[in-house]
Structure 1
């Protein structure tokens, strides 16, 4: 059997020679790092590295079940790294380490798994983080959809930094660094069952290098949230509710690609609730909004950054609204369920 025809079998998860060969030849080769190569049941990390960078440890975990596994602009491997690192970054943490656990369905082509693991390794290297421990499990056909990945990220928060979704105040400005809904739209177009064709690509990217300079130079940052499931509208609704304020967006300032708007009109979706994987929303005091905007626009991931709205006095706590180009105001309500499942 040629290598292109080889698939994952139950033997690859049975603890024998096939499993050890898969781990050594694929995962250790791709992720090879000091702690991982020790082949212990845990990663042993030097405390000095953590204590030298801050005074608090940040820990996050996430699972990725996106369908399809590969899509324009990314794949489940890149998504697993960037999504986890971004959860750390929006809390102000500098990401350092990742764990990775793989649930693999019997029959997954080996060459596909190699591509996805390679993509994951490349994303980690570009972000300057190490994948230091992990796990693999193989399940029977029909027990999973090809591949699921769980990642846990560890980072350190600098002393004196405190971000919270409950800290937004009236007058604060709302910024985003990129186009709304790119990831959700790209994944929709990649699904063969929808029969749609387009040129949109996911915005999947690690955001910590975009975020860190703003946090270092702007003391008025209240909070940051990456707009993944639920999209920009979802995270801003969470901020408004937690802070007991209202948030009003300005429709003409929203950076939405025409292709995304057209797709949403075709399918009856609200682009503000489509997922992103390389966009964050920031709430910042009005005096520093322009400074933060300039910093973002100086970074490749922030070229399309804009101030898109403001925080309002809490006459209607948790209210999220949209100011239309005609001067009217439309209430934005978070959908009861996902507009599109299996998006990340």
Structure 2
């Protein structure tokens, strides 16, 4: 049975995306087949499309690492999931499609009152934010955290998580309208990095430093991040908005006993990813189901407008998640 996918047969800008009819996939014994209702658009999709994100060995080369939809078929080894279950799914690839397969331990059943758009907006973002803020950086109530790119999908999620546990937050954005919205959320310290040096601003707020940095920028900010961290500070590299190499003050890392950790979700093994999804299911799905945190959705576009979704993402127009509705 045919289905439509969106892929990038040649690297390029958003206009490189192409739609193609292919055969519908069949689930392996440990997989489920999902009728996709909505697709989460992530920066790694744009990087893969541009040819600067290598697809992990064995992963589906079609764009898309998360979706929301309905399970319509299950493999012989699948447990606790039956056809008709509505889910949020973490994928190795292949999400930009009308149907997708996922390992059964990489899907989470969603509340009955959730639509596919909401289901597609949470799993990649919340898994990434949880693993970097809490598993790697061990952010605790009352600690100080700098979250770069506070209006991005992962950045805005990290802010909501940090607020939920009672951390002290400093965040950055390059647009004043986004800064106003973050302040409306109750974030006291929002720095417009186009108007002020973020490191100097953070030092004015916390002269003795901060505990955790959630870094989406990379080399361009490394030296300043190390200088801001105080004794036993932790930093998680989550993205690379800047390229190239950076020099590091190793003496500061040693004397302050800092921990610098990198994270990317897609290359994890099936078993590792299953544990990540389970931590998300246990820690944050109840919070989301009770409405204590709401997914931040910037725009919902038809699947056929994937090119526009990528343009929107690369222009950093979004505050929160961009979703494609199938």
Higher Cα Rg, which structure? 1
Name whichever structure is richer in strand by fraction: 2
Higher relative contact order (CA 8 A, sep 6+): 1
